[in-house]
Amino acid sequence: MHIITKTTLLTSLTCALSATASDSIDDLLNMSLTSLADTKVTSATRTSQSLADTPAAVYVITAKEINRSGARSVADALALAPGLHVAKFSNYDWGITARGSNKALSNNLLVMVDGRSVFNPMFSGVDWDLIPVSIDNIEQIEIILGPVGTTWGGNAVNGVINIITLEAENALEAQLTVKTGNWGYTEYQMRHAAQVSDYAYVSGYFEFVEHPPWTSDQEIVQAIDHFTVYTERFGGRYDYQNLAHTLNVQAGGIRSREDYLWANYLPDAYFPNTPGFIEYDTEMTMEEYFIGAHHVYDIYNDNTLESDVWLTYSSNDGTDRDAAYFRFDLDSRWNNNDLWNTKFTIGGNIRLIDEELATYSEYDILTMPYLRINDDSRFLNESYGIYANWNIPLSDSTNLTLGHRWQYNNISDEIDAQPQIRLSQQLTDNQNLWFGWGKAVVTPSRLERDTNLRTNTVYDCNVPLQYQSPWCGVGTGQQDDVYIVTGQLGNDKLKTETVETYELGYRFWHDDKLHISLSSYYSIHENVRNYLYTGIYGDWESYPETLFVMQGSFITDDIWTETYGGEISAKWQPLEQLQINTNYSYKRIIGHCNTNLCSNDDKRKIENEPNHFVNAQIMWDINKQWWANATLQYVGKSELHRDYQPNDGYDHTWPEVVNLDLALSWKYNKYAPRITATVEGIGADQETEFAEIKGSFQNGTQYWVTVEWAVAQDI
């Protein structure tokens, strides 16, 4: 009743906003499957080229596919692509990987918005819930699987995701969107765009989202099921094009505030006659703000000089990553499109990050449940690189690309090489075969090198026996408290992670009706991070009332892996009103150890990953008023190693995941708002998508209604 009442009021409001609203938004989103030859991508080579000519495993998610799927975040939209393992941890947190292990602090994917990298410098990975872009402001998402480090630098080891936003000229003149659903979900969006001169356009948006951290019936969250996450996003851009100059200026940001249950642990030895711990509610805040520009100067004969400059500020007050960063990125390159009938690009980049990690008092160190400690809170992270790509037509149907990048980072104090070779062979007018080899590196971070994650836990032994910790019976057996300190220790001797990949692919297309892509790969991942257990130390003599238990592990790089697999994807439009997108991916990881420090348990944790992934989307334009969409995601259950023994200590498999999302949309006429009903997670209610040992939350079925009113620019 609450949702129906809200929707009725909002529908009435949006209908009354204007009598001149057009259905131009439908013209933008209801286009047929674009011909492969006309689909342009920029992320693989940093120059615009057709998808058919790109010698890499490239997949494009269009604005229409995102809109129809009902995706409310970039992470949700990425489930449409092959080669990616998208797993939901909670209602606002995901684990996403390409051709590798899916782990909480994964950093083998480079994610960008219009070429600006979005990553947390703490661990060089992505906070998927903090990507500062509106889902309705996306023109397309380009996914490049495999190493593209030569072109883009660090973290482009297993793939690159480049989120391309709408140019101001193509953005809607006015749009108001309201979404409301179960589990306390509400979202408001406003956007505007206009032409400001003969050569310039501007656009901007603001959105606010409120939702719970979980959609779970688990007992662990029942006492705090009133907790909420509040997220605000905003952005604006200015586009100018005149004669030889093209300029794009952007600014925006995101702030997310989360209700959080916190506690202070008070061991009896330090705090006699006090409770073992004190609980209270608090709030965590994560934010990022940016401003920057992209400039292209056409020199002559299609030769161009391009430059990108970005300033980014980000902070997070969660105690496992409590830090603030001010980042400067500059990248310039010269494209010579007629060098002896070849194309040559040479460029360089500078990245400076002023890092300030939090410091803690002795009281904080003793009492906080967990916190990250470092010896030097202030650090200037410096990275410098030069790179070149040379595209050589060997014949009318054969193209060779040679590339290399040299990148220096002062965290590792090393210069890393990232070469690539790619070959494309056109078999017929509608068939293409390609081969690729490349090597890329993971950007070093301070988290793994010079920080320690300390976890404190206090167990009260003055409780009935059935509620006591097993540690209460250790030593004298008369402790009031057990104080357990666990540490994950950094290692400044780590070698840089590298991934070397061989790829082979094939494409077939038929006009604007069918596009099929196949790719296979074999990768070697060196210096994989692993935690080496250092043992347990118990002390019950220094403080008879409190048993101290110290246990820890430090990060090592003694594991390397082999990964092989492949992807097949198809986009098919059998009828003008019907489009079907399907894809299947296979991935197999084999772990190895360089030293005798690894156990079978260590290697099998890495190998224990799902192998089979299926995604499908059906988009049906029923008539001018109605459209329907169905999206299916399947992830196969992982399997334990064939030599697994019960005493190996690792028996937590990843579960089978089957998610079905449905959407139905209606627009009465061009003056009326569009109303869309969406259901997410049919058949997967209260299921988890991570292995049990990861401690993820259950995900419940969600449904919501979207009311959208829009006016296109009169261009």
510 pLDDT band, cuts 50/70/90, is confident
- For the chain, give the percent of residues with pLDDT over 70: 89
Max CA pair span of the chain: 85
Cβ neighbours of residue 674 closer than 8 Å, sequence gap 6 or more: 25, 26, 665, 666, 667, 706, 707, 708, 709, 710
pTM over 0.75: yes
Contact at 8 Å (CB) between 474 and 547?
A: yes
Domains and CATH numbers, the chain: 25-711 (2.40.170.20)
DSSP assignments along 358-384, one per residue = ----HHHHHH-SEEEEES--EEEEEEE
Q: How far is CA 479 from the centre of its chain?
A: 46
Q: What is the H or E stretch that residue 8 is in? A: helix 2-15
Contact at 8 Å (CB) between 336 and 303?
A: yes
Amino acid identity of residue 336, one-letter, is N
pLDDT at 468: 74
pLDDT at 209: 97
Whether residue 85 is predicted with pLDDT greater than 90 in this model: the reply is: yes
pLDDT at 626: 96
633 pLDDT band, cuts 50/70/90, is very high
Helices assigned H by DSSP within 361-511: 362-367, 447-450
Q: What is the H or E stretch that residue 78 is in? A: helix 74-78
651-667 pLDDT, tens digit per residue, is: 788 999 999 999 999 99
pLDDT at 474: 64
Which among 142, 312, 87, 111 has a CA at the least distance from the CA of 119? 111
Whether residue 224 is predicted with pLDDT greater than 80 in this model: the reply is: yes
Round to whole Å and give the CA distance between 520 and 586. 9
pLDDT at 160: 92
Whether residue 670 is predicted with pLDDT greater than 90 in this model: the reply is: no
pLDDT at 28: 44
User: Could you tell me the CA-to-CA distances from 623 to 21, 577, 618, 674 in Å, in that order?
Assistant: 20, 8, 15, 14
Go through the chain and tell me how many residues it has. 715
Cβ neighbours of residue 557 closer than 8 Å, sequence gap 6 or more: 491, 494, 495, 497, 527, 528, 529, 530
342-373 pLDDT, tens digit per residue, is: 999 999 999 999 999 999 998 999 899 999 99
Whether residue 211 is predicted with pLDDT greater than 50 in this model: the reply is: yes
For the chain, the average pLDDT equals 88
End-to-end CA distance of the chain: 42
Which among 205, 270, 220 has a CA at the least distance from the CA of 485? 270
52 pLDDT band, cuts 50/70/90, is low
